[in-house]
Amino acid sequence: MNCTNEDMDSPGRLDVFFTSIGILVTGFFVGFVAVATLVYSPPKKEPKIPYEQQFYDDFCELIDRELDDDETAKLKETYLRETTPNGDVIICYNKDHDSFDVWHDDRNIPFMILDAVAQQYAIKHDAKSICVNYKEEYELAILKMKSMQESNDDSKEEEPVVKKEDDVFATFKSYNTASEKGKSTVNKIITEKCNHFRRVGNIKEWEDKQEPSEEPKEAKMSYDEFKVFMQMCQQLKPLIPPSDDDDSEGEKKEK
């Protein structure tokens, strides 16, 4: 059987047809996936800032202006109520105690929560000078501790070699050094300055303190009550005995 040129070309046309269909389907699928990914994918949630760090940046940007005595004294009666993860906290600055007076129900509220509330108080009332930047103080304390450790290490390297007869004392000394080094790592880092907080009471006690005391109301007499009062006075008037002056005036009239 002889094959013509037309029969030889027909398979190539089918390949082109199916290849075109495949390209169209693949393009449609890729476009669908791209649109679904870019348009319909849920937005990524930004990491939540811990409450202890929420006000720090704004606090650092605050101008550190000097407050006069009157401004500082008024802060004792200037309050801020802040909602924290440990419940509500009411705070004011007490110049007499050089500390923040606080009212809260949770007796175990962490220091860093109160420190964040103090930063918010300083921001709200433009009083940065009354609030210590605890993060800076903490970093300074770490640098100071590292420098002390480095100086101690340098001094150990410069110690003279101990003689054999002093081996017992050398062992005791090295034991003491090791124990002291262990203690230094266990000890907490203490800053030179920090904010002080004085718990005055709970929230209910602060609210009761703010309620104005009730003043005694003046008794007001209505018109009807006034009429009754006047009638009673008229009825009682004949019962009042005349005074000596009234008797003398009566005698004069008789004369």
Contact in structure between 122 and 62 (CB atoms under 8 Å): yes
**pLDDT for res 23:** 74
Which helix (H) or strand (E) segment holds residue 118: the answer is: helix 111-124
- HSE-CB at 15 with a 13 A cutoff on CA atoms is 5
75-129 pLDDT, tens per residue?
999 999 999 999 999 999 999 999 999 999 999 999 999 999 999 999 999 999 9
**pLDDT for res 174:** 40
CA atoms of 216 and 207, how far apart (whole Å): 22
**pLDDT for res 19:** 72
23-59 pLDDT, tens per residue?
776 766 666 666 556 555 566 677 889 999 999 999 9
Indicate whether 164 pLDDT > 70: no
- 3-state SS class at 55: coil
